Amino acid sequence: LVACGITTPEELARQNPASLLAVVEPFSNTKEGERIIRTGRKPDLAEVTEWVQWAANARAFKAA
């Protein structure tokens, strides 16, 4: 995510999952992206949506 410009949980929590995937997906196809992912699978919309939800929930719990 840092390589795609998302550097804080707050930034991640504000993302639209489809828009974020549109940034993450092309990066994951680059040599650097493949090196970071290694043998893992590339993220899909469901996984990116979970990232955004987790970030939003983590911020809500911390504030409580």
- Model confidence over 8-49: pLDDT tens digits? 999 999 999 999 999 999 999 999 999 998 878 899 999 999
Contact 42, 28 (CB under 8 A): yes
Query: How far is Cα of residue 24 from the mean position of the Cα atoms in its chain?
Result: 7
Q: pLDDT value at position 63?
A: 58
**What is the residue range of 20's domain?**
2-63
Cα 46 to its chain centre, rounded Å, is 11
* Per-residue model confidence (pLDDT) at position 40: 85
**Cα separation of 39 and 34, whole Å?**
8
Q: Report d(CA 39, CA 10) in Å as an integer.
A: 28
- Looking at the 3D structure of the chain, how many domains does it have? 1
- As a whole number, mean pLDDT of residues 50-64 equals 80
Tell me the average pLDDT across 54-61.
80
CA 48 to chain centre: 5
